[in-house]
Structure 1
Amino acid sequence: MGRLTKLAYPEITLTLDFGGSGTKGIVQVKGGVPHALYMEPEVIEATRLSLIDKTENNLSNAYPENVAWVGVGDEYRAVGYLAANYYSAAQGLRPRKYELALYKTLAAIWVVKQKYKLSEAFRVSLALLLPPGEFEDSSLLKPMLKEALAGFNTPTGEIQANLTNYECFPEGGGIYAMYCKNSKAAIKRQIVALVMVGYRNASLLVSRRGILDKGKTTNLGMARMVELVMERTAGLTSSQLVPAILAAGNHPKPQHFLKLVRGSERSIRDTEIDKIISAVESARTEYATSLASWLKEVLPPSSELDEAIVCGGTADYLHQELNAIFPGTPVTWHGGVEIPTSLNEQWLGTRLADVWALSVYHAAKVKALAKLQEQEKEAVVNG
């Protein structure tokens, strides 16, 4: 009978990707359809009294993802928009992701509970993505989550959540799982490289005849290019630069950077814009060269490689440069994963590919467990 409780169908099935540019998630509430979730990446320590003071009178006016905070024991953290805009938190690109993943996960669960008007006690099933270089940390994260979920504080009181299922995958694992399902027997014969380039990291996983290695991770995400641009300019922040750089794409024009300059005279503004464009172009070249050099060092020889899967939010921006790394090798962008239109309300596009693919895998597993539960229940009744 104890196993029946463990396999009880969860009220929340949640898949999370702790990207450096934001926490992306797919949530499915029991009996409902999947929805996308997005929260800013910032997390910062704060006192309970300060958090209450900043949010108590705004809970009915703001979306929950914009006023999220959590408390575990005596430790309190503002998460997402609240942390970034009211506590001036940094993006947290240096700490290992699992160190912040605890608070981000708890905050996301509170947001879901608020959006779907759930009670303070419920069951939750989690699937999480961590960089390959930090994947071993998943064994540290699980007991931390399980203990914290049993009772943690939020802007609306204590939540008691029972963790019914927990899975952690290296980044790219969702895309790889869906690729394996779609490629069927082909994966068992091939050597496939999975390259993921995000905001904080770039990662490589290699599948050799269906056997996936532990992967490698470097800090050469999009944030590195943004750092290079800031070194070549003055007074600009990453939050200002990233949208402009992505909008400019391969062909930066003055209109893409007009909002970043403050000069009162046209000639001064034009000079500032020209300097920004020059900085973006030179930073992109330097960044792409560094990334290509790392990949060529860690990739299998091209003569052995049957296919490359390239994915991640930054991959689209570097489409041209990344394609050039694989001459003669077929490249499948984002593993062929298609994002349902209904999930793109946050305009995240292909940045959702990995977490969406993993959510499909995880939801199927939860469904299978629920079916097993029903079978065991029937056996008990009929036995």
Structure 2
Amino acid sequence: MAKETQTITICIDLGSSLTKVVWSLDNSPDINFLTMEPEIIECDYGHLDTYRSKRINLHSASKDDAWVNLKDNKQSSFAIGFLASALLAEANLKALKYESALYKILAVLGIIAEQTQFRLAINLTILLPWSEWNDQSKLKEQIKKEAKSFLFRGKLINLRVLNCMCIPEGAGITLNRYTGILIKSNKFITTLVFGHRNTSILTFQRGMMIEANTTNLGFFRLIDRIIELTSGLDRKLLNKIVYQLGDPVNPDNPILNQLCMSQIPQNLQREKDEILVAIRTAQQYYWALISQWLQKQVPKSLSEVVVAGGAGKYLYHRLQEHFSTISTYWGTDWQDLIEASPQFKNLDLHEECRDILAFRLVDAYAAHSYQLKSLHDSQNQKSIPTPV
């Protein structure tokens, strides 16, 4: 018996530290969430099969055991997310996002297809860094071609992409913020996106984006500096702990101890103090880089600054002080909606803090909402009779 076809609207934010997904079925009011580790690794199918056959599994969700094969290259598998990290892949911060995007997107679509058990027709929005936005035509062409027939976890998946749209990171929250508002002022609206790999600025005047720029001053710069000033710290653990510690750091926060390796009590405090000094030094260094970039890039005559991206939340106090005379918008209304969602409350967070993850999802959630509105408006226009 043929599967029922359902239309799905989905937004994928291909973050360098976390893949974030917001999706909904057209016949359901529920907004669903999915997150995956950013790692991806290409490996021979035989190697992958051997690895999987020898490990001991208790239970794993499909998102934690995800791999993709293109239909015309079944011997070469791409492990995505947790499975890729288990195969010792590392997030490649130098590679272009769009080059690995195809496999990550197919994995996400495979997970949802497996979960819903429907044949899916897809309205897709992808968030890309501004610096890679010009590559969107290549990516959209690849997705439309490969989504028709690919292998996910060894099973054939056939999908139909109805619409595929790429927008710059930060555009989701901005489009929703200003849709329907007639902006007459000559003052600028600036959207700042603080990511793990890079930081971007989108500048708008009279409702139109007039300028954009991306720099490689991502959160990883802060982590790099801490690693330079310390010994033996694990990058992945540092990413998690440093973000949770926030800025400024409370020296009495017990999670600082998770970074210490000493087993001798008298050495433990000394190690903790050294790590604390390294973090504070790195914070000053990182903010100096960011603030200098802001001074060069942000227009002088501003009506509002929109802030997106997880590293933006980390820099909250510094950014509020920097823009003390200007209105700032952080999408807290969207964050509240996300946190109140039953689907979000049931989301397996793994090592994420719930409020931090909610903020990181704001841009994708807002982009998904904007996409739903656009599709609804488009359908309404088609149904309006036209004069003969």
Three-state SS of the structure 1 residue aligned to 2:157 is strand
Specify the alignment match of 1:234 in structure 2: 231
Q: Is the 8 A contact 1:204 1:217 kept in 2?
A: yes
CA–CA distance in structure 2, aligned partners of residues 269 and 17 of structure 1: 40
Describe the shift of the 1:370–1:155 C-alpha distance in structure 2 as closer, same or farther (beyond 3 A).
Answer: farther
Is 1:219–2:228 an aligned residue pair? no
Specify the alignment match of 2:297 in structure 1: 298
Is 1:316–2:317 an aligned residue pair? no
Describe the shift of the 1:356–1:188 C-alpha distance in structure 2 as closer, same or farther (beyond 3 A).
Answer: farther
Three-state SS of the structure 2 residue aligned to 1:109 is helix
CA–CA distance in structure 1, aligned partners of residues 57 and 113 of structure 2: 13
Q: Is the 8 A contact 2:249 2:280 kept in 1?
A: no
Match of 2:8 among 3, 12, 18: 12
- Name the % identity: 27
Q: Is the 8 A contact 2:10 2:124 kept in 1?
A: yes
CA–CA distance in structure 1, aligned partners of residues 19 and 201 of structure 2: 21
CA–CA distance in structure 2, aligned partners of residues 219 and 369 of structure 1: 37
Report which of the two has the higher share of helix.
1
- Equivalent runs, 1:73-84 vs 2, <5 Å: 73-74=72-73, 75-84=76-85
Three-state SS of the structure 1 residue aligned to 2:135 is helix
Is 1:330–2:304 an aligned residue pair? no
CA–CA distance in structure 2, aligned partners of residues 371 and 58 of structure 1: 53
CA–CA distance in structure 1, aligned partners of residues 56 and 143 of structure 2: 28
- Equivalent runs, 1:248-263 vs 2, <5 Å: 248-249=245-246, 250-254=248-252, 255-263=254-262
Query: Which amino acid is 1:78 matched to?
Result: A
Describe the shift of the 1:356–1:103 C-alpha distance in structure 2 as closer, same or farther (beyond 3 A).
Answer: same
Question: How big is each residue's C-alpha offset from its partner over 1:199-253, in whole Å with a ceiling of 9 and x where there is no partner?
Answer: 1111100001111135111111111101111111111122111221122222232
Match of 2:376 among 367, 373, 376: 367
Specify the alignment match of 2:108 in structure 1: 108
Query: Which amino acid is 1:231 matched to?
Result: E
Query: Which amino acid is 1:132 matched to?
Result: W
Is 1:282–2:281 an aligned residue pair? yes
Query: Which amino acid is 1:144 matched to?
Result: Q
- Cα deviation, residue 271, structure 1: 1.4
Q: Is the 8 A contact 2:113 2:120 kept in 1?
A: no
- Cα deviation, residue 259, structure 1: 1.8
Q: Is the 8 A contact 2:182 2:207 kept in 1?
A: no
Is 1:71–2:69 an aligned residue pair? yes
CA–CA distance in structure 2, aligned partners of residues 65 and 104 of structure 1: 11
Q: Is the 8 A contact 1:189 1:209 kept in 2?
A: yes
Q: Is the 8 A contact 1:10 1:125 kept in 2?
A: no
Query: Which amino acid is 2:27 matched to?
Result: G
Q: Is the 8 A contact 1:202 1:221 kept in 2?
A: yes
Specify the alignment match of 1:23 in structure 2: 19
Is 1:349–2:347 an aligned residue pair? no
Describe the shift of the 1:274–1:59 C-alpha distance in structure 2 as closer, same or farther (beyond 3 A).
Answer: closer
Question: Unaligned stretches of 5+ in structure 2?
Answer: none
- Cα deviation, residue 260, structure 1: 2.1
Specify the alignment match of 1:169 in structure 2: 167
- Equivalent runs, 1:196-215 vs 2, <5 Å: 196-215=193-212
Three-state SS of the structure 2 residue aligned to 1:213 is strand
- Cα deviation, residue 129, structure 1: 0.4
Query: Which amino acid is 1:167 matched to?
Result: M
The normalised TM-score by structure 2 is 0.87
Describe the shift of the 1:370–1:306 C-alpha distance in structure 2 as closer, same or farther (beyond 3 A).
Answer: closer
CA–CA distance in structure 1, aligned partners of residues 315 and 219 of structure 2: 10
Describe the shift of the 1:262–1:194 C-alpha distance in structure 2 as closer, same or farther (beyond 3 A).
Answer: same
Describe the shift of the 1:371–1:159 C-alpha distance in structure 2 as closer, same or farther (beyond 3 A).
Answer: farther
- Cα deviation, residue 335, structure 1: 7.3
Q: Is the 8 A contact 1:175 1:334 kept in 2?
A: yes
Describe the shift of the 1:60–1:229 C-alpha distance in structure 2 as closer, same or farther (beyond 3 A).
Answer: closer
- Cα deviation, residue 117, structure 1: 2.4
Specify the alignment match of 1:98 in structure 2: 98
CA–CA distance in structure 2, aligned partners of residues 179 and 322 of structure 1: 20
Size of the aligned set, in residue pairs, is 364
Q: Is the 8 A contact 2:192 2:307 kept in 1?
A: yes
Question: How big is each residue's C-alpha offset from its partner over 1:99-141, in whole Å with a ceiling of 9 and x where there is no partner?
Answer: 11111100100111122223xx431111010011111011110
Query: Which amino acid is 1:291 matched to?
Result: I
- Cα deviation, residue 189, structure 1: 5.2
